[in-house]
């Protein structure tokens, strides 16, 4: 069969045997065409498919390899395909929302939207089992990330599909100041002058907070990157506010420029896998936080970037 590009297919149901049964006709058709199956899904779904596909070429992968914040999850997908596509055959990948959304539904939705962009030229049929009970009001967005829907055992065009950039913009719509911003900040610096002094102040402010030291260090680097971008591409002054609480850590970086609208940027190093070339700052920043949103400053005179980490201790 022709090795066309990435085909992203949604099926609805729980991660159980009934969802596996719905996938079987499509998977068997792919196997007949020489496409092995890769299972990176919940244990019950995986067990049912393994039983039904006994004797067929089936790879079992730890689903945690494909979970996490969007940049990390995307790197996991790319590494998996690089590892298993050596013979040039088309792959059939099975995942589910219950396993993949461990870092939060929003992070998973970002990943699902971006897969259509990042893996566009990869020879993969990717079957995602999305659980309506788990996703609730987020189900329409989850389905909109898939150009195809499973219908009567085979993929069919999904009229509700939305382009990755559109989905990402909807996920990143900043509702405005977080309630914590009504409280005194842990750190406040107006018109940042010295990046070294900024990093020292951030490190000291995070030292007694809820983040693991490695997470705190990564956040300092992420804030450094956003402030540097604001200084280079925005309009001074650049102001920084940091709130460190038991519930979350939030940093707001404001300047008087128009901000940026590049929702597909920063989900891989700008120059591929050679990190020595540079151009990886936004990628590293996205990897360090759970959410990074932009919105106009109050009054519309400038832009604020909010970086948020939800501590997981």
What is the enclosing helix (H) or strand (E) of 74?
helix 70-84
- Which pLDDT score, from 0 to 100, does residue 178 have? 85
CA-CA distance, 34 to 27, in Å (whole number)?
A: 11
**Measured over all CA atoms, what is the biggest interatomic distance in the chain, rounded to whole angstroms?**
65
Kindly list the domain boundaries of the chain, sorted by start residue: 7-170, 174-309
Q: What is the pLDDT of residues 173-197, one digit of tens each?
A: 666 788 899 999 999 999 999 999 9
Q: Which of 81, 79, 31 is nearest to 58 (CA)?
A: 31
- Which pLDDT score, from 0 to 100, does residue 274 have? 47
Rounded average pLDDT over 248-276: 73
Overall fold of domain 174-309: Heat Shock Protein 90 (3.30.565)
Report the predicted TM-score, pTM, of the whole model to 2 decimal places: 0.81
Q: What is the pLDDT of residues 32-54, one digit of tens each?
A: 999 999 999 999 999 999 999 98
Overall fold of domain 7-170: Rossmann fold (3.40.50)
Confidence of residue 111 (pLDDT cuts 50, 70, 90): very high
- Which pLDDT score, from 0 to 100, does residue 269 have? 52
Q: What whole-number percentage of the chain has pLDDT above 70?
A: 92
Confidence of residue 278 (pLDDT cuts 50, 70, 90): very low
More confident residue, 286 or 206: 206
């Amino acid at each position: 069969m022709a090795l066309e590009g990435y085909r992203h297919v949604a099926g609805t149901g729980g991660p159980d045997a009934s969802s596996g049964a719905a996938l079987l006709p499509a998977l068997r058709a792919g196997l007949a065409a020489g496409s092995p199956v890769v299972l990176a899904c919940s244990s019950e779904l995986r067990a049912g498919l393994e039983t039904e596909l006994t004797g067929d070429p089936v790879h079992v992968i730890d689903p945690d390899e494909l979970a996490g914040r969007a940049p990390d999850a995307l790197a996991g997908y790319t590494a998996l395909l690089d590892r298993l596509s050596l013979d040039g055959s088309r792959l059939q990948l099975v995942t589910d929302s219950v396993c993949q959304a461990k870092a939060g539904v929003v992070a998973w939705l970002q990943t699902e939207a971006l897969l259509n962009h990042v893996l566009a030229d990869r020879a993969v049929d990717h079957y995602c089992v999305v659980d309506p009970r788990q996703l609730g009001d987020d189900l329409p967005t989850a389905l909109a990330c898939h150009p195809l829907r499973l219908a009567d055992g085979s993929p069919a065009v999904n009229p509700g599909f939305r382009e990755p950039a559109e989905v990402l913009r909807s996920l990143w719509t900043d509702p405005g100041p977080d309630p914590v911003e009504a409280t005194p900040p842990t750190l406040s610096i107006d018109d940042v002058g010295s990046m070294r002094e900024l990093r020292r102040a951030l490190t000291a402010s995070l030292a007694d907070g809820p983040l693991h030291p490695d997470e705190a260090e990564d956040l300092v680097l992420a804030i450094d990157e956003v402030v540097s971008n604001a200084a280079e591409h925005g309009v001074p002054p650049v102001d920084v506010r940091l709130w460190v609480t038991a519930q979350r850590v939030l940093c707001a970086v404001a300047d008087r420029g128009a901000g940026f609208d590049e929702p597909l940027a920063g989900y891989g190093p700008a120059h591929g896998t050679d990190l020595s070339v540079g151009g990886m700052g936004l990628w590293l920043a996205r990897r360090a936080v759970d959410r990074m949103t932009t919105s106009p400053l109050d009054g519309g005179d400038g832009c604020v970037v909010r970086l948020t980490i939800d501590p997981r201790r």
